[in-house]
Amino acid sequence: DALIRRNLETGKARGVTLTLTSFILKAVAQALLEHPHFNASLDPAAGELIVKRHVHLGVAVATPRGLVVPVIRDVDRKPVLELQRELGALASRVREGKATLEDLRGGTFTVTNIGALGGTGAIPIINYPEVAILGVARGREEPVVREGTVVPRLLLPLSLTFDHRVADGADGARFASAIVGRLEHPDALLLGL
């Protein structure tokens, strides 16, 4: 908690309000490096899985014209603060109808966060030609028992949808666990802020 508070203050001092989404993007990017078959696309004609060398994350943005998915490039190589800046700029361009074609293509994996809209759960649909998508619902503080003591904890419902031609349930569980592990211990996500 103190680490996160300190980094939120650092971000604010640099003119950026950090959101949970930027931390989720960083956690997903790091987990994709360990589980590259989720950072891929399927070539149905050739019947081949094309594993991507770069991590370009699509982020679903609700607009009056419907859902639009702009892409933040090289998420694995950027600090959380830079991701937040890019996310804010991209979302603004999309909502204003000023997104370029380059803003909207090249994604390797998508994150859709319905939590800001009050959503408590969802089963997202894969953004073709990608092979997986992560849905994030509204986080809520709930009482949790830790070492025999009831303490408040943020619970964040996540839902991973993936193409079972690429991975099975065990692979999906390991990938989801890699994401959750990073979110439960965000100190590594904050290195280099």
Residue 182 lies in a domain: yes
**Total of domains in the chain:** 1
Model pLDDT for residues 94-135, shown as the tens digit of each residue: 999 999 999 999 999 999 999 888 888 889 999 999 999 999
Given this model, what pLDDT does residue 23 score? 92
> Which amino acid is residue 18, in one-letter code?
L
Specify the pTM: 0.89
Point out the residues that are catalytic: 164
Region of residue 158 (left: phi > 0; alpha: psi -120 to 50; beta: else): beta
Domain range spanning residue 57?
2-188
Report yes or no: 75 and 56 within 8 Å, Cβ to Cβ: yes
Given this model, what pLDDT does residue 164 score? 95
Given this model, what pLDDT does residue 187 score? 76
Percentages helix, strand, coil for the chain, rounded to the nearest 5?
Answer: 40, 25, 35
Q: What is the CATH number of the domain that holds 184?
A: 3.30.559.10
Structure tokens at 102: 């380059």
Given this model, what pLDDT does residue 119 score? 81
Residue 73 lies in a domain: yes
Model pLDDT for residues 5-27, shown as the tens digit of each residue: 666 676 677 777 888 899 999 99
